[in-house]
Amino acid sequence: MRIAIISDSGIQHDARVQRLVKSFAHKGFAVDLFLPNYKDHGATLFENEDVRLIAYTLDASRINKNLFFWKKYSNCIQKVLDQKKQYDFIYVNDYPLLYSGVQLKNQLKVPLIYDTHEIYVETINQFFPTAGIKGVFGKLWIAFNKFLHHRKESRLILKADYVVTVCESFKSFFKKRYGIDAIVVKNCPLDLPQLTKKDLLREHLKLKDSDQILLYQGAFNYSRGLEKLVDASQYFNKNIQLILMGDGPLKPRLVALAKGKNQVHFHPKVPFSELIQYSASADIGILLIETKNRSKELTLPNKVFEYMAAGLPFITNKLPEASRIALEHDCGFVINDVSPKEIALETNKIFDQNYKKNGLQGRNAIEQFYLWEMDFNKLLNLIQP
């Protein structure tokens, strides 16, 4: 069987699409992966697999970036047709590709799988300013975009043969909004490597053995509570070292905020294949998603599973999905993130506990309940009865 998987981003750091491609290939599918502006980065990710990586160009005009999102990616339609292959499925990742997926379904007469990684229409307020003079126009753009794309998604999503999403809260949201019953495939680990004894973070940053490491790993983006977390570091116990591992648009702002704060350290992002080993050399992981829209509020961050796989207990704010896992498996801690000082006070209390057992319980929960293959097989059984 042959499947066309279309992504709206690069592959090097998109762990979900990597897992999809590898899993379909392992199940005997020939996979054509279509990537925007692909330039051979990540070609070695799928060595010895029946996988082809094929580039398509973006039409990134200003109007497409700010309003007609689907047109930005629509060149993938012709690129798929140019392959002159008989695909058994078209698989598109996220809302901006849904229009292209429906067009390909109609032209190729094959089933369409729509994988919505977030509640995309609810994230639109992240794209435009909402403060100051620019905020006046930004709010108008947000309102018009949400109206336009809600109507468009409501029509297109019903044309998908299968809808996939990342957590139960998103499934409930789409059921209520569109009346569709999505398949949940959580962003769990595909493989669970043995953890090494290496102390990678301490060695790289020359920290003391007595230091305790609080780790944030991931993109330095807005709405992840990172500015508040850096501010909180001034109230941490003296031996707690905050490490921010990754990169992103917020980094210059974070570096400026961290000046004079000796307990804040930056580490470059690492390849996803090495991430768990680096994370395992910390003591506790943290994620503080700011609930600025429904998608952020209901999300189940990848970091939950990445910390658990690394044997790290994790600290989260009151996100329903992350806090449920933390409490259900006793593998994490739910804190009040109302202010930097409150974050620090609660974090200090956690570091004073015997938290290592919580990390072990998280790793055990991953092994029993949260491996990628468990959810992926449910999807496969539905599309291949």
Give the containing element (helix H, strand E) for 298: helix 294-298
CA distance 138 to 57: 28
The confidence score (pLDDT) of residue 197 equals 67
CA distance 277 to 193: 9
Return the residue matching tokens 């930056």: 266
Four-residue CA torsion sign, 246, 249, 250, 253: positive
Query: SS3 of 138, please?
Result: helix
Fold that domain 200-369 belongs to in CATH:
Rossmann fold (3.40.50)
Give the containing element (helix H, strand E) for 112: strand 112-116
Cα separation values, 205 from 134, 184, 251, Å: 41, 39, 18
The confidence score (pLDDT) of residue 212 equals 96
Four-residue CA torsion sign, 33, 38, 40, 45: negative
Which of 270, 229, 271 has its CA nearest to residue 250? 229
Q: What is the widest separation between alpha-carbon atoms in the chain?
A: 63
Domain boundaries, the chain: 2-188+371-383, 200-369
Tokens of 73: 């990616």
φ, ψ for residue 256 (rounded to 5)?
-65, -40
CA distance 159 to 110: 12
Which ranges of 157-216 does DSSP label H, i.e. alpha helix?
A: 168-178, 200-205
The highest-level CATH class for domain 2-188+371-383 is alpha beta
Q: Give the tens place of pLDDT for each residue, 339-357.
A: 999 999 999 999 999 999 9
DSSP string, 239-264: TEEEEEEEE-TTHHHHHHHHTT-TTE
- pTM, entire model: 0.91
User: Do residues 71 and 93 touch, judged by C-beta distance below 8 A?
Assistant: no
Same fold yes or no, 2-188+371-383 and 200-369 = yes
Q: Give the tens place of pLDDT for each residue, 289-324.
A: 998 899 999 999 999 999 999 999 999 999 999 999
Mean pLDDT per segment of 10 residues, for the chain of length 385 residues? 95 89 96 88 76 94 92 97 97 97 98 97 89 86 94 97 98 97 95 84 93 95 93 96 96 96 95 89 96 93 95 96 97 96 97 95 96 95 87
